[in-house]
Structure 1
Amino acid sequence: MDRRQRVLNFVVPHGRTGVELGPLSRPIVLKSDGNVLYADHLSTEGLRHQYRDHPTLGPDGIEGIVPVDVVLGEGGLPRALGSRGPVDYIVASHVVEHVPDAIGWLRECGEALNEGGVFCLMVPDKRFTFDHFRTPTSVGALVAAHLLRLRTPPPEAVYEHFARACEVDVPATWRGQPVPDRLIVGGPPAALDATATAVASGRHIDVHCTVFTPYSFGRVLTELLALDLLPFECAALEPTRPCESEFFVLLRKRSDLGAAARAATVPRLDPARHNALPPPASWPKRTRAAARRWVRSLRGRRS
C-alpha cells in the first residue's frame, strides 16, 4: 500500500470536507477524492514566486503547484477557514517539523476540526533523514516554544541543523550500516554564523524545529496529552516501515475524554525497534537478539 492510500484509509475523504496543509505540487488528497481545500502560507502566485528555483517540485516545476484555496495568516487555520470550517479531517505531510510552536499549531488545527474529526500527520523519522545526528526533541523544548509563542525557529534548532545535517542512504541505514559523518551544510562554524545572523535579524530560517523517532514522538505525545495541552486522542501511530523514512500519526479530536484517558490511547512502542538504529545486517540473528536484550536491560537499570 503506497503512502497516498494509507492516508486515504485514515481520513476517508469521500463525502467529507477536509484540508491538506502545504501540498505544493504533490497533493495527497485529490479534488476527485472529495471536498478538499488546499491551504498554505502564501497564495498560489506567491508560492510560485518563492519556489521558482526550487529543485524538488517535479517535472512541471512551479506550474505544478496546485491552486491554493486557503491562505493562512495570523490566527491560523480556524480564522483562515472562516465560514468554511470546521472540517472533518486535516492532512499534513512533513509540516509539523517546520513549525516553531508545534503545540500551538496542533491546538489551532484542533480548533478547525469537528468533534471526532481526524488529523493525519506524516512525520520524518530522524534516524533515516539528514537529521540523523540530531537529538530527538524533548517535551521541555516544545513547552518552552509554546510558552514563548515562538514564530521563528528556536536558535538551538538553527544551530543543530547547520551543524549536523548530513547525507543519509536510507536502504543502507536500514541494513545496519553506519551513517558516515558527511555534512551537507557546513558544520559548526557555519552553524554559529547562521544562528548569530538569525538571532540578530529575527529572520525566519527554514529548518526542522523538531526531530523525532516514532518512539520519541509517542513518548512526547503521551506527556502532552496528559498535561491536557492537546484536544486529541491517538487513533493510530504507525512506525516507520523498512526502507522508508517517515511514520504516520492519526489524531482524533475528543473533547469528551479527560486528559489521562486521551494519554492512555498512545500505543507503547518498542524502543529497540522504533528508537534505536537497526543492528548491522552482518550480525547473526542470535547476536542481534542478544544485542536487543542488552539494550533493554541497560535501559531498565537506568530507569
Structure 2
Amino acid sequence: MSALGLDDRRRMVHRLLPLETGCGLEIAPNWAPVVTKSEGDVLYCDYLTYEQLLERERTNPGRIQHGLRVQRLDFIWEIGKTLQECAGTAAPFDYVVSCHVFEHVPNFLEYLYQVRAVVKDDGVIAMVLPDAKGSGEYFRRETNAAELINSYLLGQTVPSPGQVYDGLKNLFDFQNVPLEGRSLADVKRLFTDSDSYAAAVRASQEYVDVHCWAFSRDGFAEVARELREIGLFDFEIESLESNPATQTGHGSEFYVKLRPTAPPRPSLLRARTQPMSAPNPDPDAAPGLSDIEQVRAHADRAFREAVAVQDALKAEKEALEAAMARAVAHGEKAFREAVAAQDLLKAEKALAEDRLARLEASPLVKLGGRLGLLPR
C-alpha cells in the first residue's frame, strides 16, 4: 500500500481512532481498508455486495498492480434501510471510519446523521475527504451550507443532474503544479461540456456516481461552523488535518475527527420511504383495507391532488395570460393616444407659427415697430 500512498493515510487516521480498546465500523473499505481486521476489532459494510464489488473492481489497475484484494463484508447497507437497521445488534460502535465516501453521497447531512445513529455518545466519526484545492477539482466552486441544507430538506437520494454536470465539467488531470492565476482552460480536462451534459441527462433517469460535494479543509470547517450555528451540525471537530501540501499550497486530502454533541436524529429519509408508518394516519385510508389496497388508495388520492394542482396552475396561467393581453392592449391604446396627441400638438404649433408669421408681416405691425409701440 505504500506505493499508493495509503500507509501515510492509514497512519494519520489511526491516530484519530481508539483501535486498541474500541469496536469499529468501516464504510466501503473496498480493496484498501483504513483499518484492517488484524489491526482492530472492525466490521466492514458497503451498499454493494461482495460479488458486485469483485465485478466492479475486476479491472482496476491500482488494485491489480499492487495485488490488493476486495474485502469481504460483514453486512450490506441496503437501499431503503437505515444504517442502524442494517447494523442490527452490532451497533453502537466506538468509532465509524470512511475514506473518500462522503463526497459521493447525494445527501451529506442525512448520511452523517445515519452514521451518528450507530456511534456511541462518546464515540468517534473519522472521515477522509479529498481537498478540492489540492486535486483535480481546483477550479470547482466549493460546496456551501445552503447546498447541503437543500439536499437534506428535499430528501435527495441520488446525485442531481446539476451535481453530475458540475462535478464532471470541472474535473481535470491534476499534475501537481502551481495553479494560482490559471483557469480551467489552461489544464487538460477529463470531460468536455458535451460529455458532462450527456452524463447529466443520464442522471435524470439513473444513478450516476460523481463527487456531489467539493470541499477544501478550511471550507469544510466554515460550512460546519455555519451549520452548527443553525442547529444542523451536532458534532465537535476535534481534529482537522491535511496531508503534505501539493504545489497548489493545499493537501490532496484532509482528515476529520468528529465527536457527537447531541443524541441521534431520526432519519428524514426513512420517514419519507415509509409513509404508511407515519404517526398521522392517511385520512383516506379506510379501516379493514389490506396494505396493498391502502397503498392504492393513497396513490389514487395523490393522483387526484396532482390533477387538482395541475388544473389550478392551468387556470392561474390562463388568468395571467389574459392579464398580459389586457396590459398589452392597454399599452397599445395608450401609445396610439400619445402619438395622436403629439400629432395634434405639432399641428397646433405649426398653425400658431403661421399666424404669428402673418401677423408680423402685416403693415400695421410693421408701422408699430418703426414707431416703437411694440414690446421688444
SS at match of 2:31: coil
Do residues 233 (structure 1) and 240 (structure 2) align?
A: no
Q: Shift of the alpha carbon at 1:54?
A: 2.9
- Confirm or deny: 8 A CA contact 1:145 1:154 kept in the other structure: no
Alignment pair present for 1:213 and 2:216: yes
1:65 paired with 2:70, answer yes
Q: Displacement, 1:60?
A: 6.1
Q: Is residue 2:144 matched to residue 1:141?
A: no
Separation in structure 2 between the aligned mates of residue 219 and residue 208 of structure 1, nearest angstrom: 19
Distance, in Å, in 1 between the alignment partners of 2:220 and 2:24 is 25
Which residue of 88, 97, 101 maps to 2:103?
97
What's the C-alpha RMSD, in Å, of the aligned pairs? 2.0
Aligned to 1:252: 259
Larger-gyration structure (1/2): 2
Residues 172-231 of structure 1, C-alpha deviations (whole Å, 9 max, x = no match):
238x6957321112x2122222212221x1x11110000011111011011112222233
The question of 1:190 aligning with 2:195 is answered yes
Q: Deviations over 1:149-182 (max 9, x none)?
A: 1111122211112222101112x238x6957321
User: What secondary structure sits across from 1:39 in the alignment?
Assistant: strand
Contact kept in structure 1, 2:98 and 2:127, CA below 8 Å: yes
Segments of structure 2 that go 5 or more residues without pairing to the other structure are 1-6, 264-376
**Equivalent in 38, 50, 57 of residue 32 of structure 1:** 38
1:19-74 Cα deviation digits (max 9, x unpaired):
1111111111111222100111112112112222333324366x700111121013
- Cα distance in 2 for partners of 1:140, 1:58 equals 41
Q: TM-score by structure 1 length?
A: 0.77
Q: Secondary structure at the match of 1:97?
A: coil
Aligned equivalents of 2:139 and 2:62: distance in 1?
24
The range that moved more, 208-217 or 5-14, is 5-14
| Counterparts of residues 164-175 of structure 1 (less than 5 Å) | 164-170=170-176, 172-173=177-178
Q: What is the CA–CA distance in structure 2 between the aligned matches of 1:41 and 1:173, rounded to whole Å?
A: 38
CA distance in 2, matches of 1:77, 1:148: 20
Q: Given the superposition, is the C-alpha separation of residues 60 and 241 from structure 1 closer, same or farther in structure 2, using an over 3 Å criterion?
A: closer
Give the counterpart letter for 2:222 in structure 1.
R
Query: Is 1:223 matched with 2:226?
Result: yes
Out of 60, 79, 89, the position equivalent to 1:83 is 89
Match of 2:169 among 150, 155, 163: 163
Structure 1: give runs of 5+ residues left out of the alignment.
257-303
* 1:60–1:48 Cα change, 3 Å: farther
Classify the secondary structure of the residue corresponding to 1:2. Answer: helix
Asked if the contact 1:106–1:230 (Cα under 8 Å) also holds between the matched residues in 2, the reply is no
Paired position in structure 2 for 1:42: 48
Q: Which has the higher contact order (CA 8 A, sep 6+)?
A: 1
Query: What is the identity, as a one-letter code, of the residue corresponding to 1:24?
Result: N
1:101-116 paired onto structure 2 within 5 Å: 101-116=107-122
Residues 73-118 of structure 1, C-alpha deviations (whole Å, 9 max, x = no match): 1333211110000100011111010000000000000011000100
Indicate conservation of the 8 Å contact 1:214/1:240, yes or no: no
2:16 maps to which residue? 10
Task: Look up the equivalent residue of 2:69 and give its one-letter code.
Answer: G
Structure 1 distance, partners of 2:115, 2:144, is 21
| Higher helix fraction (1 or 2) | 2
Residue of structure 2 equivalent to 1:181: 187
Q: State the aligned residue count.
A: 250
Secondary structure in structure 2 of the residue aligned to 1:123: strand
Q: Any conservation in 1 of the 2:202–2:208 contact (CA below 8 Å)?
A: no
Work out the CA distance in 2 between the residues paired with 1:210 and 1:196: 19
State percent identity of aligned pairs.
Answer: 29
Q: 1:130 aligns with which of 129, 136, 152?
A: 136
